[in-house]
Structure 1
Amino acid sequence: MIRPATEADVAVIVSIEAECFGAAAWSEQLVREHLAADHRIALIHDDVAYGVVSVLGDVADLDRIAVVPSVRRGGLARELLDVLVAESSAERMLLEVAADNEAAIGLYESFGFSTISTRKGYYPGGIDALIMELRGTLEP
């Protein structure tokens, strides 16, 4: 069940981060900051997935969406994205994704995101970042 993430979820989110992102995982302090910020929406699905979006005015930024590997490809990322988009109430949403992350790119494109720019060598190992955007009423 998707619900708002709270301070009580910090340890679980840190664990999800470590499992999904390894050395690039957010620190406990960064997770706490994201949960505490007024302009952010943080959601968690049981102990296996979470997402965070920052909303400033009419623009939302998808900061993070993570699903532990053992339950991927079951629709959890899409469910989280559905709720994050709906709750953002923004006119557009932006995100960055590694150009070699085919699964995430496929999800975002199926949701209506389009690539608007590329940041060359943005990620470790020289991997490009795709900047993707969803415009309009932000309903999936």
Structure 2
Amino acid sequence: MTAADIPAVHELECRLFPVDAWPLQMFVDELAQAETRHYLVAERAGRIVGYAGLMCMEPISDVQTIAVVPEQESQGIGSALLTELIEESRRRRAEDVLLEVRADNPRAQQLYRRYGFQQIHVRPRYYRDGVDALIMRLRLGTRGLHTTPREADHP
């Protein structure tokens, strides 16, 4: 993600997360912290169709955001974004990757579980509309966990 991508990303953010959308300035501020942040976009036909961001402060990485436009879901974009965030976490020597996911978003929860994330906590009423957040963790450590979905999770 570059500064030039921010207006399009913010437009998607407002469309995809109308209640919890980040202000445009937040994306600007996040990109300005390259020493602890990593943001990327996914494009199709010159159009941004997904984006993701990571904050890493050794030994913890935290997925700040990940989103894919609904009309492009189930095409591997979310998986590609998540894989890159996990790989960046490894490059930055994180031992754990954390994230929050809406309790009412089973599709996202399933994606994270395929990558080995496990729920470790619940934050009641975390989102502005009162929905709980599930806190999930992927342990990287020295166990060499994979960054692709587990074979057992595929039919």
TM over 0.5: yes
Distance 2:2 2:146 in 1: 25
Distance 1:116 1:18 in 2: 29
TM-score (norm 1): 0.92
Q: Does residue 112 of structure 2 align to residue 114 of structure 1?
A: no
Matched residue SS, 2:129: helix
Distance 1:28 1:128 in 2: 25
- Long gaps (5+) in structure 1: none
Matched residue SS, 2:124: strand
- Coordinate RMSD, CA, aligned: 1.2
CA offsets per residue over residues 73-125 of structure 1, 9 Å max, x none? Answer: 21101100001110122111000111111110000011100000111122233
4+ long deviations beyond 4 Å: none
How many residue pairs end up in the alignment? 136
Q: 1:138, CA displacement in angstroms? A: 5.4
TM-score (norm 2): 0.83
Contact 2:40 2:52 (C-alpha < 8 Å) held by counterparts: yes
Q: Does residue 41 of structure 2 align to residue 44 of structure 1?
A: yes
Q: Does residue 17 of structure 2 align to residue 16 of structure 1?
A: no
Identical positions, percent: 39
Could you say which residue in structure 1 is the equivalent of 2:151?
none
Q: 1:23, CA displacement in angstroms? A: 2.9
Contact 1:92 1:138 (C-alpha < 8 Å) held by counterparts: no
Q: 1:6 to 1:126 in 2, by over 3 A?
A: same
- Long gaps (5+) in structure 2: 148-155
* Bigger Cα Rg: 2
Matches within 5 A, 1:1-140: 5-38=1-34, 39-46=36-43, 47-89=48-90, 90-136=94-140, 137=144, 139-140=146-147
CA offsets per residue over residues 20-70 of structure 1, 9 Å max, x none? Answer: 111311111011111111210001111110000000012100000011111
